[in-house]
Each structure stands twice: as structure tokens, then as C-alpha cells.
Amino acid sequence: MATHAISTPVRARRRAGVWRSMLQTVEGRVGLCLGLVVIAVVVIGPYVAPHDPNALGTGTALAGPSSAHPLGTDQLGRDVLSRVLSGGRTVLLAPLAATVLAFLIGGMSGMLAAYRGGPLDSGVSRLFDLFIAVPSLLIVLVVITRVGTSWPAIVIVVALVFSPRAGRIVRGATQAVVGNDYVSAARLRGESARWVVARELLPNAAPAIIANFCLYLTYSIIFVATLSFLGLGAQPPSSDWGLMVASSRQFISVNPWATLVPALGIGSMAVSFTLLGDALIRQVSRRIQVGGGEV
């Protein structure tokens, strides 16, 4: 069974199969729909917001829902709906950037470790384990204090914290395919390490990596939102959902919507990526069970 001889269209079809069968699960479909709704709110929201999200005193402060303010107003009289509609960007984009960066840093070292094997592999793995055991929120809180709460700083710090985790995943996913004959064949043909990684390892380890990417995007969303909630992420007057929850928490008994809606926004964003990731992982592992080492 010469897998390396499979032509590109067949491979492409096989990969499309993972996506299609993922959408046949309830989890996958709910995750996709929820994700699309949330992304639509994040992308279109700022343009359809009825008020300027930072305009003060658009109505009585801390008023309940009314026709002028469907979700009421916050303690400064700002329109909660407009703030929710325009506050999703940082909640999604900062974690997305951090996760991509984490998978780039960790992924490259993990894949290289799995490809080379030997002492490099065990050394890198030990290092990953060590940094994963360090309590991440604690470390990030302290480091952020020093480097400041700008978005680039947050993205880099969160990426550094997540990169050993991403590295361990990519290493595992690579190791599952590195033993296959087509990899040895490519090596014997004298292909460069870069070629083998780009043409053999990456495409074949991709489904597992993408599935885990979705899950880690969730963790990253939770993490960055938590930073904002603790006052070390987005800064006022930003309408970032995590910050909105933190600043309206005090007034939760007066206008609960100002706290609940942004909180649920973060929740549904995280849930949608988790459902997608979970459905994908299940498809990938089923494929490995059914198809032997062929994935």
C-alpha cells in the first residue's frame, strides 16, 4: 500500500471527508452554527450598533431593557447593546493571534523534535513538560504587570505560555505519522528535512493539529477574557466583553443584562470552538482506528 504514491486529488478528497463527517455529528453542526453567529456578531456588530459604544449618558444610568436600549444601560449610561455589539473583536482576535503564534513556536520545535528523535526529542519533551507544570495564570499575571497591558504584549505572553502545550500536541501528532513508510521513503530519496516536514508530515498530521488548534483557541479565549476580567487585559473605556463583565459586576442586581450578555458572549464563542474541536478530534481518531496508519 504505497501511500506516498496517492495523487493529490485523492488526498484532498480524503481530507474533505474529515470535514464532511464532522458536520454529520450534532456537536459539529451546533458548533459551526454557533461559531458563525458569534463571528457574525463580532464582524458586523460594530457597524449595526445603534449608539456609539463609548457615548456617555445615552439614557438613564443602569436602566433596565427598554425599546431605546434593548439591553438597558450601564453605570455610565452607555448603551449595553451597542457595547456588546462592538466589544467582541478583541475577545476573538487577541486569542486567535496568540494561538497561531503558539502553534508556530511550539509546533516547529515539536515537529522538529519528533522528526529528529533521539536526545533532542527527549530533551525538548522534558522541557515542554516542565513548562506545562508551571501554573500559567499566576505567571502571566505577574509578567503582564511588568511588560504592560498592551495587546501585542498580551498576545506574546499568552503565546509563550501556550507554546509548550501546542508543542507537545504537534510532537505527538507528528510522531503518529513519522514512522510511516512514506516518510522513510522520502528520507531515503534524499529529500531535505524541510521538504519532508512540509510535504509529508504536515499534511498528514494536519487534521489532528487543526482539531487541537480549535481546542486551544478556546483555552486562549478563556485565558485572555480572564485577563481582561481581572483588569490586566483590555483597558477602559474599551467595550471588551471580559472588561464589561468586570466593570458591571458591581451593579449586577440593578441591570443584570450588562453583565450576563457579554459573559454569555464569551461563553458561546468558547463553546463553539470547543464543540468544533471535539467533533474534529473524534473524527480524526476514528479515522486512525479505521484506516490503520493511513491518515
Partner 1 sequence: MSVADDPLSTADDPLSTGPDLSSSVRRRRLRFVAGQLLFVLATLFVISLVMFFAVNLGQSPRDVARQALGHGASIQALNAYAHAHGLDAPVIVRYGRWLGDFVQGNWGVSAVTGTAVRPSVVPELGRTFALAAITMLIALPISLWLGVMMARRYGRRADLSVNVALVVLSAMPEFVVGIVVLLIFSVWLGLLPPNSTALVFGDLSQKIQSFILPVLTLVLVSIPYLTRVTRVAAREALLAPYARAATLRGVSRRSTTWNHAMRNAAVPIANAVALNFIYLLGGVIVVENLFGFPGAGQALVQAIGNGDVITVEAIGLVMGAAFVLVSVLTDTLVVYFNPRLRAGR
CB 279 within 8 Å of CB 24: no
Closer residue to partner 1 (CB): 174 or 274 = 274
CB 179 within 8 Å of CB 117: no
- In angstroms, give the least distance from the CB of 151 to partner 1: 18
- In angstroms, give the least distance from the CB of 12 to partner 1: 30
Which residue type occupies 277? G
- In angstroms, give the least distance from the CB of 175 to partner 1: 20
- Read off the C-alpha cell for 250: 458591581
Closer residue to partner 1 (CB): 67 or 253 = 253
Closer residue to partner 1 (CB): 136 or 204 = 136
Q: What distance in Å separates the CA atoms of residue 203 and residue 182, rounded to the nearest whole number?
A: 13
Which residue type occupies 200? E
Closer residue to partner 1 (CB): 103 or 131 = 131
Helix (H, G, I), strand (E, B) or coil at 72: coil
| Dihedral angle over CA of 256, 258, 264, 266, nearest 10 | -150
- In angstroms, give the least distance from the CB of 152 to partner 1: 17
- In angstroms, give the least distance from the CB of 172 to partner 1: 16
Positions in the binding site for partner 1 (CB under 8 A): 26-27, 129-131, 133-139, 141-143, 145-146, 218, 221-222, 225-226, 229-232, 242, 245, 249, 252-253, 256, 259-260, 263-264, 266-267, 270-271, 273-275, 278
Closer residue to partner 1 (CB): 201 or 266 = 266
Closer residue to partner 1 (CB): 144 or 183 = 144
C-alpha distances (whole Å) from 41 to each of 89, 238, 244 are 9, 17, 16
Greatest C-alpha distance within the chain: 75
Place of cell 483590555: 234
- Read off the C-alpha cell for 137: 495564570
Closer residue to partner 1 (CB): 18 or 263 = 263
Which residue type occupies 207? P
- In angstroms, give the least distance from the CB of 249 to partner 1: 7
Place of cell 521513503: 185
Q: 108-143: string of b/e by CB count within 10 Å (b at 16+)?
A: ebbbbbbbeeeeebeebbeebeebeeeebeeebeee
- In angstroms, give the least distance from the CB of 92 to partner 1: 14
Q: What distance in Å separates the CA atoms of residue 144 and residue 289, rounded to the nearest whole number?
A: 43
